[in-house]
Amino acid sequence: MAELERYRDVFTACFGKACRLADVWVLRMNTGETQRKIIHVDCDCFYAAVEMRDDPTLRDVPLAVGGAQGRGVVTTCNYRARAFGVRSAMPGSEARRLCPGLVTVPADFPRYRAASQQVMAILRELTDLVEPLSLDEAFLDVSEVTDHKGSATLMARYLRERVKKEVGITISAGVAPNKFLAKIASDWQKPDGLFVITPEQVPDFVQALPVEKLSGVGQVTAGKLHALGIKTCGDIQALGAEVLIEKFGKQGYRLYEMAHGRDERPVVVSRIAKSVSVERTFSRDLPDKTACQSVMPDLLDDLNRRLSRKAQKKPIHKLFVKVRYSDFSTHTLERVRESVAEPALADYQPLLDELITREDRPVRLLGLGVRFRNDEAPVTQLRLFD
């Protein structure tokens, strides 16, 4: 405790007032708060993976997305292209010089967004505490999830299997006590890998970790650290917090914390899952309403399985049915059904009857879903008179 108080004094001397981060550190050490379980998932060469999924002829060739013409740059590339030295943000001309057989395709962001939505939906079935960083990566806080025996490792394995099966691409996952280490772990055995850093392994893991692996350390900061003789997190630990704060200000404290494997940043939830749905696009259009009714049981079973996998059970507010006809026109009908705990065929049949008015119209896609009640939304009593 005396050491913690000493570092609070250091912050006061450097910044003129006691630093809140130091107070958080003291509080954490005093309260002994429950160890968090964080998963970081990262889709492997995401855009290229979607292209290879949709066009099998691209799977065995060096592939780049973007950079085909003029001064264009490579958006991403597959691992065959990376073996030649091709990298993201590289000019297309340089990429083709390094890899004469490089195949380039234009970016198709609507397809990538659709694949991303599938991946994120799978993540949110496990927990609502999901923080997307981009289309192809996200943090999950699974500290309170009891599924899969409460094991974050088993959860990560389960997510990887589901994404591979349902989306048709691979993801790498890292499991650790915090965001900083989980992100490093997800990159440790790429592609299609899973790496776990347990709380007990943290001290040994960070000891030899290069400073370049630290979040926020680019070429400039790395150069300054190297000039001080610092190449690893172990070197940072030996240098001490006072010197780091003197040289780097507030960033010095963060470097010192990361070098010890500590990161208090929470998983920031930008949106809570408001619905769960399943849908199926048929290789041959369903000829009529009767054919739609025949596939409803399978869709409903799939929907209820997804609902049962939700770690946080929420009350159902609405049911909805979605239909896309052979001419690609899409229609959705939803109705309030707050008394439903587990949807049954009898709950969806009235919606299907109301939605499909022409019984002989071919159907290309059929979907079922639920929307959850938001108990946290403010309730406003409307006034009868002004």
Instruction: Please report the pLDDT score of residue 1 as a whole number.
Output: 46
Q: With bands split at pLDDT 50, 70 and 90, how would you rate the model's confidence at 32?
A: very low
Instruction: Please report the pLDDT score of residue 257 as a whole number.
Output: 93
Give 270 or 48, the one with higher predicted confidence.
48
Instruction: Please report the pLDDT score of residue 33 as a whole number.
Output: 53
160 pLDDT exceeds 80? Answer: yes
203 pLDDT exceeds 90? Answer: yes
Mean pLDDT along residues 6-29: 47
Contact 322, 366 (CB under 8 A): yes
Instruction: Please report the pLDDT score of residue 376 as a whole number.
Output: 57
Instruction: Please report the pLDDT score of residue 126 as a whole number.
Output: 87
Mean pLDDT along residues 137-146: 92
Residues involved in catalysis: 137
83 pLDDT exceeds 80? Answer: yes
Q: Which two tokens stand for residue 116?
A: 């991303």
Give 215 or 273, the one with higher predicted confidence.
215
Mean pLDDT along residues 340-360: 92
Percent of all residues in the chain with a pLDDT value above 90, rounded to a whole number: 63
Backbone angles phi, psi at 170, to 5 degrees: -110, 150
Considering the chain, what is the average pLDDT of its residues? 86
Mean pLDDT along residues 108-121: 93
Residues making up the annotated binding site are 42, 136
Q: With bands split at pLDDT 50, 70 and 90, how would you rate the model's confidence at 258?
A: very high
One-character DSSP codes across 287-352 = -SHHHHHHHHHHHHHHHHHHHHH-SS---EEEEEEEEEETT--EEEEEEE-TT-SS--HHHHHHHH
Instruction: Please report the pLDDT score of residue 145 as a whole number.
Output: 87
Mean pLDDT along residues 12-37: 52
Mean pLDDT along residues 346-367: 93
Mean pLDDT along residues 135-163: 93
Instruction: Please report the pLDDT score of residue 278 as a whole number.
Output: 85
- Rounded Cα distance, 48 and 136, in Å: 12
The predicted-structure confidence for 34-81, as pLDDT tens digits, reads as follows: 689 999 999 999 999 999 999 999 999 999 999 887 678 899 999 999
Mean pLDDT is lowest, of 31-40, 222-231, 255-264, 342-351, for 31-40
Give 130 or 273, the one with higher predicted confidence.
130
Mean pLDDT along residues 293-297: 94
Mean pLDDT along residues 177-197: 95
Residues making up the annotated binding site for Mg(2+) are 42, 136
94 pLDDT exceeds 80? Answer: yes
Mean pLDDT along residues 281-289: 90
| Beta strand spans in 36-136 (E) | 38-43, 63-65, 76-77, 103-105, 130-134
Instruction: Please report the pLDDT score of residue 233 as a whole number.
Output: 95
**Domains along the chain?**
1-30+202-260 (1.10.150.20), 36-197 (3.30.70.270), 275-372 (3.30.1490.100)
Mean pLDDT is lowest, of 193-207, 283-297, 303-317, for 303-317
213 pLDDT exceeds 60? Answer: yes
Mean pLDDT along residues 162-167: 92
**At residue 376, what is the residue type?**
E
